[in-house]
């Protein structure tokens, strides 16, 4: 489905009925990464999964991207769908966006699942890495970004034993426009430190981390779970950064239990 939100065409999935659950995807992926969760959870919930601007089937204008803008796009989409409040599941960049969303629209958040993400801002080295990757995207294209990102997104075991999954994740990256890749890299580089926000998060929260997550290891999940009042940490065994794709049943099961606890 598509809607014009904040002046651009935003693509999204809207499937199922019941309590709305918004799935926010990782970088450089799209809502396609949520396929296993959309299938399973839409039997009991209304699942909304947007492609952020710059990704998937959404427009990818060459412009200044910010995570606040992503949050505004999500809020605009919810307005369009007449949804006041939802549970938000954000994985990695989706989690960074969840923090931005909470700063601006906390009344609309019924609960959070913060998966394979972190509250800390980038280090100087991390920021430099973003600019280098944007440069790679510009000079060599999205395929070169896929080469760099695949070993970060998937665990070594998955890279060796799940060729179909590897191909799917690669294909999504290769289909992403360079403007979106570079824009999101700049947006992530300039995101603020969300550690001070953690103690202000007042909604029920589940933190999920893949046991083998390299970019946002379990220690990052632990920090969020410790600082968010009442939050619970679930470590998904045998899963890397895209834990929802490497161990879809365990991931979906954890989200489902959390959703049931809110009902
Ligand atoms: C992601 O999966 O969204 C990215 O790895 C996040 C990041 O680069 O910080």
Structure confidence at residue 181 as a pLDDT band (50, 70, 90): very high
pLDDT value of residue 186? 98
How far apart are the CA of 23 and the centre of ligand 1, in A? 15
Query: Among 188, 192, 214, 220, which residue has the most ligand 1 atoms within 8 Å of its CB, making it the best to mutate?
Result: 188
**Residue 25 burial class via C-beta count within 10 angstroms: exposed 0-12, middle 13-18, buried 19 and up:** buried
Q: Given pLDDT bands bounded at 50, 70 and 90, which one contains residue 263?
A: confident
Residue 13 is given by DSSP the state: E
Host H or E run for residue 147: helix 142-153
Q: Which of 23, 92, 194, 217 to mutate to test the pocket of ligand 1 (most atoms within 8 A of CB)?
A: 92
- Predicted local distance difference test score (pLDDT) of residue 220: 98
Pocket of ligand 1 (CB under 6 A): 26-27, 92-93, 152, 188, 215, 241
The pLDDT value given to residue 161? 97
Hey, whose CA ends up nearest to atom 8 of ligand 1? 27
pLDDT in tens, 24-34: 999 999 999 99
Q: What is the arrangement of strands in the sheet containing 232-236, beginning at the earlier edge strand? A: 2-5, 8-15, 46-50, 20-24, 86-91, 109-115, 205-210, 232-236
> pTM for the full model?
0.98
Ligand 1 atom with the smallest distance to the CA of 94 is 3
């Amino acid at each position: 489905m598509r809607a014009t939100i904040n002046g651009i065409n935003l693509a999204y999935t809207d499937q199922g009925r019941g309590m709305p659950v918004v799935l926010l995807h990782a970088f450089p992926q799209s809502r396609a990464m949520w396929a296993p969760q959309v299938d399973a959870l839409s039997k009991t919930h209304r699942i909304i999964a947007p492609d952020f601007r710059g990704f998937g089937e959404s427009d990818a204008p060459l412009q200044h991207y910010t995570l606040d803008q992503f949050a505004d796009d999500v809020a605009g989409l919810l307005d369009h769908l007449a949804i006041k409040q939802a549970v938000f599941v954000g994985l990695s960049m989706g989690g960074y966006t969840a923090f931005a969303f909470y700063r601006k629209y906390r009344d609309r958040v019924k609960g959070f699942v913060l998966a394979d993400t972190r509250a800390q801002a980038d280090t100087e080295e991390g920021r430099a890495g973003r600019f280098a990757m944007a440069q790679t995207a510009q000079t060599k294209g999205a395929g070169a970004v896929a080469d760099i990102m695949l070993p970060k997104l998937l665990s070594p075991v998955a890279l060796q034993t799940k060729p179909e999954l590897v191909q799917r994740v690669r294909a999504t990256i290769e289909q992403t426009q360079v403007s979106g890749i570079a824009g999101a890299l700049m947006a992530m580089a300039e995101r603020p430190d969300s550690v001070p926000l953690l103690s202000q998060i007042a909604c029920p929260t589940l933190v999920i981390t893949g046991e083998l997550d390299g970019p946002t290891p379990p220690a990052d999940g632990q920090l969020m779970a410790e600082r968010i009042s009442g939050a619970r940490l679930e470590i998904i065994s045998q899963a890397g950064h895209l834990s929802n794709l490497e161990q879809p049943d365990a991931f979906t099961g954890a989200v489902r239990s959390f959703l049931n606890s809110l009902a």
